[in-house]
Structure formats: C-alpha cells, structure tokens
Amino acid sequence: MPTKVLDLDLEQLPPVIADLVGYPRALALLRWRGKPVGQVILDVHHDQITRADVLTAVSLLEEVWMRVDRLLLYEILDWDEVDVLQAEPPRATVAVCTRDRPEDLHRCLEALIRLPDDGQEILVVDNNPSTDETYQVVMRYGEKVRYIREDQPGLDIARNRALREAKYELIAFNDDDAVPDPGWLRALVRNFRDPAVMCVTGLTMPFELETEAQEWFERYSPFSRGFQRKVYDWEVINPVSAVRVGVGANMAVRRSVLDLVGPFNEALDTGTPTRSGGDVEMFARILRKGYRIVYDPAALSWHRHRRSWEDLRKALYGYGVGVYATFTHNLLYEWEFFVLVQAINWFVMDQFPNLLRGFLHRPDSLPLDLVVTELTGCLAGPWAYVRSRKAVRRKMMKDDKHSTVGQRSYTNP
C-alpha cells in the first residue's frame, strides 16, 4: 500500500488532514517555522489524520522537540549558527545534469524558476541525449535556462562540464528527478561564508512513496542524512567514510574545486561501468585535501525514487558497484588501506545480517533479491573501475589527438 508524503509545520498544523483515501499511513516531514526538524510515520484513520494524531506521535520524538527548543533559543539570542553577515546571498549557478528524462526535468525546472530571485543562473547539461526532447523542454523557458549539450557519456563528465561553463563561483547541483524546496539554494550558498568550506550538501526527502519499490528504496537506501547541521573535516570523519556527508543529488561546490581539489572522477558514476560513486569520491578528496564539507538540512530537496521494482534493483546494483569501485580507487590510487577494514565491516555488520535474515524469512528482513543484487554489484565493482579507468585513459589520448566534438553551448533566444 502506498504512503502519503506530507510536509507539516508544527506551529501551523491544520485541524484535519483529509483526502487520504487509499493511504494507510503517511510519512511527514516536520518543520518548525519553515525549518526541518524531523520526520514521523503517521497512521491514517477513516481517510484522515487529525492534529491530535500528529501531536501524539511527535510527543514521543524527544530529538524533534530538542531541535525546536534550540531554534527557539537561537531566536531569543538573535543568533545564527552559520553566522551570516552578507547583506545579500551570493550569486550561484544551479546545474541540472540530465539524460532522456524530459518529464522529470520539466518538474525540476518548474521548481527552480520559482526559487527566490538572487540573480542565479540555471544551467542544464544534456548528457549524451538520444533525442532532442530535453532541448525542447529547456527551450520552453526562454532566457531563464541555459542549455549545454555534452556528447561524452558520464554523469561526472557532465558535472565537470557544468563547472567549466558556470557563470558564478558557487555551483549547486540538483538531480533532474528532484524538486528543490523554495529555500534550497539560499540554504546551500549561505554556508560558503567560511573559505575553508569547499562543498555543502542538503537534506533529501522522498517526493512520493506510491509504489512498493519507492517504499523499499526509502527504507533500504535513504538519501537523508538527518536533521542536524554538521561540519565535516578530516579530523571529524575519515575521508573513506565520506558517504555520510550527503548525496550528489543535492550538493553545491565552489568552481575553484577544479584547481584546488581536481575535477570529478570521470571513471565513476552513471554512464560508466561503475554506475555511481562520483559524488562520494569527490567528498573524500575534499576532506583529504584539508577542506570542509557542511551538511545543512535547511537545504531541502524532494527526490522521486525509482518507481518500478526492476529500476530499484538496477539502482541498488549500481550503488554496490559504485561503492566498491570507489573503494578500489581509494586503495590503489590514494593508498587508503582503511577501505579494506570498512569493506569487511560493511559486509559483517550490515550485508551479511541482511542476507541471513532474508534467507530465514525473518519479519524484519529486507527482500532477499535486493540484498543479493547489491552484493552482486559489490563483487563487480573493482573490475568495473579498472575497465572504466582504462576507458578514460583512452579518451584522454584520443582528445590529445583530436579536438572535442559536440560540445556546443546554447543560450535560448
């Protein structure tokens, strides 16, 4: 049965949330005066949820009320944990890297053009398209959106193209299948006041939970990293564990990352044999170079998870490949031997127990085919990275001999 996704402010709860026919439960994002403070699962009774139902469920969540109390104290003291002094938010480029998802892209762009106007530009990088549908979607927005076609396949290739083409120093990346909250961009860029901050990530919640596949994605591999703002550096977290700092679906970096840290690793992520991992490898490199990463839940985006079971299996297989491809990179090229310990711990503490519970059909077990699919991806990860890195080398050698073809920039008339 589907789960209704709700967005509730504890200070302005309606008496009744109605029109919940067909939904036995709801996942509610909880806010306090607009700021995310937690989430809760609510049971639906008689096709509705009352204000009393919400308050009863939330009363048991001590951490939510602790965050509310902290926000109230900040207001009383007129204090901001980011300590922002700018009169105006800095300008930024919002980049959406996409391939053959015109409906998702349209939904994403509709949200982006409704963001508060702080002079930002919106840039769409169309990566190795099979049709002109993405171009046609972008053309609907006239001068509000800039279009770039990148014919070399690979998400990290598209990200690097966005960094090179961006008009501004700060580049915020939002996935084409994600819808940013109105305060998303401002929440990201405000954290760059600290010159040591090279990257900022945000809270990513499910856009919908209408299918079984979406339900299991959110349970098995959620994008959320919690509701507490955190500042990471190499003293706080081992770079090998950089997956904890956020996700590439919702992140911003400085354009100077190209010179100070290096570009995204084009042997990783979607469009390559490794299928994922480019964001995590960049996070690890930023930390390893001595810079900071901030996770700020105020930078909220809503991600549409895979709807079909087959797409879910493909995604989890890709995550498994990407994780172990990144481990392989860290081991062979960064000499991070701790990845061996991490890989063993992940298997012993997480994957093997999930596998065992699945075989025994325990009530709390994950679907066995999802666990096996991810493990299969993990086994393929090291060889996938070797093949992908060889392909990148061949491309570099070819580019040295021939000029790059098909990298044209379009500005809408």
Measured between alpha carbons, how far is 243 from 326 in angstroms, rounded to an integer? 11
What homologous superfamily is domain 92-308 in, according to CATH? Spore Coat Polysaccharide Biosynthesis Protein SpsA; Chain A (3.90.550.10)
Tell me the two tokens of residue 35. 């700021």
Please give the pLDDT value at position 410.
34
Q: Which residues have CB under 8 Å from 165's CB, separation 6+?
A: 123, 125, 148, 409
* pTM of the predicted model as reported, rounded to 2 decimal places: 0.93
Predicted local confidence at residue 404, as pLDDT: 44
Residues 127, 271 contacting (CB under 8 angstroms):
yes
Q: Crossing angle of helices 278-288/155-165, nearest 10°? A: 60
Q: Is 203 helix (H, G, I), strand (E, B) or coil?
A: strand
Rounded to whole angstroms, how far apart are CA atoms 174 and 252? 9
DSSP string, 295-341: EEEEEEEEE----SHHHHHHHHHHHHHHHHHHHHHHHHHS--THHHH
Residues 210, 19 contacting (CB under 8 angstroms): no
User: Mean pLDDT, consecutive 10-residue segments, the chain of 413 residues?
Assistant: 96 95 97 97 97 96 96 90 71 98 98 97 98 98 97 97 98 98 97 95 98 96 96 94 96 97 97 96 97 98 97 96 96 91 90 90 89 96 96 82 47 31
Q: For the chain, what is the largest distance between any 2 Cα atoms, rounded to a whole number of angstroms?
A: 69
Residue 129, pLDDT score:
97
| Cβ atoms < 10 Å from Cβ of 399 | 12
Both structure tokens of 23:
């939904």
